[in-house]
């Protein structure tokens, strides 16, 4: 868990980037921080690994103040993924991924196993990619390696600063999907800064909406859609997007089977694949279960929670626009 306690940040030029921020980022969840340019979201994220320090207030990791922590040890214990990727061009993919484990004095065989395991998780065959160089990969493949490098040292916390914004729309959507599936496997505390509301709604467990150094609203994607805290949040999400996701539409779950979660863990309420998205949303709320098990011909074909239903609504919206 990461906790901000009355954090304020003032820069020497007089700019007040953060204004009395108190906030808890839940452990083992993906929290998206979103807001317009200059709202303080990147400054807030940089507080976690002491790239920025509070003017007043304190930041805690698992209730330990980071003020007295050694900066080098702290940063080596945190994964970091940035928009520019930052792979070293003269190093192979294996060497890039192995950087932090080597700094942590991991044995060579453990480091190599970790690299292979993570490359497989993001859809890159180790036999094909380990000895290649970054410039031999596409932008999407390089960003996958960037994610792998951030996870190689097995950090509990991963900071992601608009990591997919420079990619083409298809690569970006693929990586968003892969990040969600990866998070289901690794359960890290991920802080994800973005300016894209669709991205935040798609990938986040919790969304923090910021403006002018303050927090306007904190909630799940569905909470922001159903109950925007004020006019700013409503306008930032967009009336069309809110109306679209509230209505959910009358298309059936089986039409969106490719969006379902295939993981079989956790409680679920069974529904037929002929159920409409709108009906499924109502059933999810009334069941008290965290997700639905979608059944077709007597077999479970996947699971749908709040996030999957939102993704289906978003997909329907894109098709309608096209």
Token readout for 89 is: 């061009």
Picking from 150, 320, 310, 119, the residue whose alpha carbon sits closest to that of residue 222 is 310
- Structural element, H or E, at residue 19: strand 16-25
Helix/strand/coil for 222: helix
- CA torsion, points 217, 223, 229, 231, in degrees to nearest 10? 110
Which residue do the tokens 């096209």 mark? 322
Is 294:277 a contact under the CB 8 Å cutoff?
no
Q: Where are the beta strands (DSSP E) in 182-287?
A: 189-194, 206-211, 214-219, 269-272
Mean of pLDDT values over 149-168: 91
pLDDT score of 314: 64
d(CA 248, CA 5) in angstroms, rounded, equals 38
Lowest mean pLDDT among 120-124, 166-170, 226-230: 166-170
What is the chain's mean pLDDT, rounded?
88
Residue 58 tokens read as 């304190």
List, for residues 261-300, the tens digit of each pLDDT value.
887 667 888 999 888 887 887 788 788 888 899 998 888 9
Q: Taking phi first (over 0 means left), then psi (-120 to 50 degrees means alpha), and beta for anything else, what does residue 253 get?
A: alpha
Quick: pLDDT tens for 204-239. Answer: 989 999 999 999 999 988 889 888 999 999 999 887
3-class SS of residue 162: coil
Q: Do the beta carbons of residue 281 and residue 308 sit within 8 Å?
A: no
Supply the pLDDT for residue 265.
Answer: 67
- pLDDT, tens only, 180-197: 888 888 889 999 999 999
Strand partners, 60: 3, 65
Percent of the chain topping pLDDT 70: 94
Q: How many CB atoms lie within 10 A of CB 177?
A: 15
User: What was the pLDDT predicted at 78?
Assistant: 94
Query: 322: pLDDT confidence band, cut at 50, 70 and 90?
Result: very low
Name the pTM for this structure: 0.79
Half-sphere exposure in the Cβ direction for 80 (13 Å, CA):
19
pLDDT at 201 over 70: yes
Cβ(41)–Cβ(204) below 8 Å: no
H-only helix segments in 248-305: 277-287
Distance separating alpha carbons of residues 43 and 100, to the nearest angstrom: 24
| 290, 266 Cβ separation under 8 angstroms | yes
Mean pLDDT within 128-138: 95
* CA–CA separation, 98 and 96 (whole Å): 5
């Amino acid at each position: 868990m990461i906790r901000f306690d009355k954090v304020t940040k003032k820069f020497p030029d007089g700019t007040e980037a953060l204004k009395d921020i108190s906030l808890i980022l839940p452990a083992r969840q993906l929290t998206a921080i979103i807001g317009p340019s200059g709202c303080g979201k990147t400054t807030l994220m940089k507080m976690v690994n002491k790239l920025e320090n509070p003017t007043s207030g304190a930041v805690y990791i698992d209730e330990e103040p980071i003020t007295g922590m050694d900066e080098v040890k702290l940063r080596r214990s945190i994964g970091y993924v940035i928009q520019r990727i930052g792979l070293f061009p003269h190093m192979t993919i294996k060497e890039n991924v192995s950087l932090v484990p080597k700094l942590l004095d991991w044995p060579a065989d453990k480091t190599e196993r970790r690299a292979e395991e993570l490359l497989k998780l993001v859809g890159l065959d180790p036999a094909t990619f380990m000895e290649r160089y970054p410039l031999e990969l596409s932008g999407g493949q390089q960003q996958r390696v960037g994610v792998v490098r951030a996870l190689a040292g097995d950090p509990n916390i991963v900071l992601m600063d608009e990591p997919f914004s420079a990619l083409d729309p298809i690569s970006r959507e693929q990586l968003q999907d892969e990040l969600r599936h990866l998070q289901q496997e690794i359960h890290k505390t991920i802080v994800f800064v973005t300016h894209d509301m669709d991205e935040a709604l798609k990938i986040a467990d919790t969304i923090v909406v910021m403006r002018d150094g303050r927090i306007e609203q904190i909630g799940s994607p569905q909470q922001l859609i159903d109950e925007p805290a004020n006019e700013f949040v409503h306008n930032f999400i967009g009336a069309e997007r809110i109306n679209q996701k509230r209505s959910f539409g009358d298309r059936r779950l089986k039409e969106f089977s490719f969006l379902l979660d295939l993981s079989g863990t956790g409680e679920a309420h069974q529904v037929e694949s002929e159920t409409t998205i709108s009906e499924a949303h109502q059933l999810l709320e009334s069941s008290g279960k965290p997700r639905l098990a979608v059944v077709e011909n007597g077999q479970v074909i996947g699971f749908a929670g709040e996030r999957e239903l939102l993704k289906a609504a978003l997909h329907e919206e894109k098709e309608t626009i096209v």
